[in-house]
A and B are shown apart, each in its own frame.
Chain A
Amino acid sequence: MSRPLKKVGERSVGITIFAFAYLFFLYAPMLVLPLFSFADQTIFRFPIEKFSTKWYEEIVERPEMLRALWNSLQVGLVASLSATLLGLLAAKAITRYAMPGKTLALGLISLPLFIPEVLLGLALLIILNVVGIPLSLMTIAAGHVMLCTPFAMAVLVARMDGFDKSLEEASLDLGESGWMTFWRVTFPLIAPAVVSSLLLTFIVSFDEFLLAFFLQGNEMTLPLYIWGQLRFPSNFPPVLALGTCILVASCALVVFAEWLRQVGTPGDKPQVGV
């Protein structure tokens, strides 16, 4: 008996080393960005000779960049609110009603996940052009809503599938209207998932580049601004400084969103145990 046991032990050493090496691979770029944002040089050369915080001080001297940041925040807010609302309706329809063509509808809503973004961008641009809607930040936001809704739906469906439907039935039996049942029973139960969906869709929109690239009007979002600055490496360090701040903020948001998504999830799935 001791032999196979020993064998398992050896194997797990190998795979553990691999796992940590892989984590390093995943996080290497995320370590490099903060490192170079503190480098007192405009050429990205390694090893770094001198460190300073001057790029962080320069963030405020880039009005264009701050404007792009503000635009991205607005687009992200509109996109995440709309996508979560649509995702909520879709999730309710999917989990609560027997609907003809449900699979088809579900497939179509998830479609943006399976279409190359360049195709989606072009298709949206063509239809906006046909209908005659001028390009603006709002057209970018509309594109983002399409991209984000499948994410919102996935998070919300998981939650709505998870809780006891008899709670809703009880409320209806006791005389509450459908709307009040939703508001007083369903919503509090799925609130963590709603917040988590808002955060995740916001992050998707905030970071999205290619759709915005196609659908942009006169105003830039932050990824579009960053894209423009990539051509001028000497201009780039303050972008890196701002990027580092955003990196830290979005990591915090993701951890918070994931934690919310998992916390109190009913069921006996060991993998989600906190």
Chain B
Amino acid sequence: MIAGLAAPLIIMLLYSFWRQDGPNVDTTLTTFNYEYALTKYRPIFIRSLWISGLVTLATVLLAYPIAYYVAFHVKRYKFIWLILLTIPFWTSYLLRVFAWRIILAREGVVNGTLQGVGLIDEPINWLLFSDFAIVLTLAHAWAAFAILPIYVSLEKVDRTLLEAAADLGDGAVRSFWRVTFPLSLPGVISAITLVFVPTIGDYVTPDLVGGPRGGMIAKMVYNNFKASDWPLAAATAILSMVFVAFVAFFLIQAIRLSVRSVK
């Protein structure tokens, strides 16, 4: 099993240092693919990281209050809430993305409703085939990956600490920022990782709701693969992984540091 996983990755790493030469692969080691991908795809890399960053921010910001609600306010039906929050994640991803297309389209549910009520005269055009649509759809798709880790860390927070904070005169808001939030940070950090990493590699959503210039890095990988330039595709994929790891690492460090300074 372990070999089954490691071997493909190692061979792909090797491939990324080779070069496609017509129908053959030239096996002399070269960094050509990396140089090429870094110059040619730089805007797309930056764009992908930016969009994934926005998605992560939106997902975690929306997920935190709901995780907080279930952990601290729901008393009896926690189990049902958790199931309710995870069910959408298990249903067909393609169909969910398609549903967002129906909702956001020019003649879709949102525009149809707003026009029917008379709030707008002209349909809103930026709803679909826009970065907004990508962020919304992905924030919806990965919600469970953010809610669950945050919920678990909030559930672990020792309630007596909150009582202590209240006894010592902290108000609700202050005790949240000084006790609950720092303690829930491990959950927030795993939520960030679990959302940021896969969204960078997402192919379906940018393609379906992102419009003509919506393509992200996965599309470049796939295009190169389709154009039979596997070494370049491999190099692009590896670069994206490296960038993701890099950005995620710094993001997490930054959050840790900023919280420490608050304390």
Query: Does residue A161 face the partner (Cβ distance < 8 Å to B)?
Result: no
Complex: how many Å from CA A265 to CA B69? 24
Contact A149 B107 (CB under 8 A): no
Contact A127 B11 (CB under 8 A): yes
Query: Does residue B201 face the partner (Cβ distance < 8 Å to A)?
Result: yes
Complex: how many Å from CA A4 to CA B162? 14
Contact B112 A45 (CB under 8 A): yes
Query: Does residue B124 face the partner (Cβ distance < 8 Å to A)?
Result: no
With a CB–CB cut-off of 8 A, which chain A residues contact B68? 15
Measured CB to CB, the nearest residue on chain A to B3 is: A108
With a CB–CB cut-off of 8 A, which chain A residues contact B204? 209-210, 227
Complex: how many Å from CA A226 to CA B244? 30
Measured CB to CB, the nearest residue on chain A to B248 is: A114
Residue with the highest number of chain A CB atoms closer than 10 Å, among B8, B238, B240, B241:
B8
Contact B112 A46 (CB under 8 A): yes
A-B contact count (CB 8 A): 212
Contact A146 B4 (CB under 8 A): yes
Contact A122 B233 (CB under 8 A): yes
Residue in A26, A28, A114 whose beta carbon sits within 8 Å of that of B85 in the complex: A26
Contact B237 A116 (CB under 8 A): yes
Contact A28 B103 (CB under 8 A): yes
Q: Chain A contact residues: over half helix, strand or loop, or mixed?
A: helix
Complex: how many Å from CA A246 to CA B4? 32
Contact A127 B2 (CB under 8 A): no
Contact A105 B203 (CB under 8 A): no
Complex: how many Å from CA A47 to CA B4? 51
Size of the B side of the interface (Cβ < 8 Å), in residues, is 77
Q: Which A positions have Cβ atoms within 8 angstroms of B? A: 4, 7-8, 11-12, 15-16, 18-19, 22-23, 25-30, 32-33, 36, 43-47, 86, 90, 105, 108-109, 111-120, 122-127, 130, 146, 149, 200, 203, 207, 209-210, 213-214, 223, 226-227, 230, 236, 240, 243, 246-247, 250-251, 253-255, 258, 262, 270-274
Given A32-B99, A109-B2, A209-B93, 20 more A-B residue pairs with CB atoms under 8 Å apart are A12-B73, A18-B65, A22-B62, A29-B96, A44-B105, A115-B201, A115-B241, A116-B202, A116-B218, A116-B241, A123-B234, A126-B11, A127-B12, A203-B90, A214-B225, A226-B95, A230-B208, A250-B91, A272-B79, A274-B79
* A-B pairs with beta carbons under 8 Å apart, 20 shown: A15-B65, A16-B69, A19-B66, A25-B62, A26-B84, A26-B143, A36-B102, A44-B102, A47-B113, A118-B203, A118-B218, A118-B240, A119-B240, A122-B225, A126-B11, A126-B230, A127-B11, A223-B94, A243-B95, A247-B92
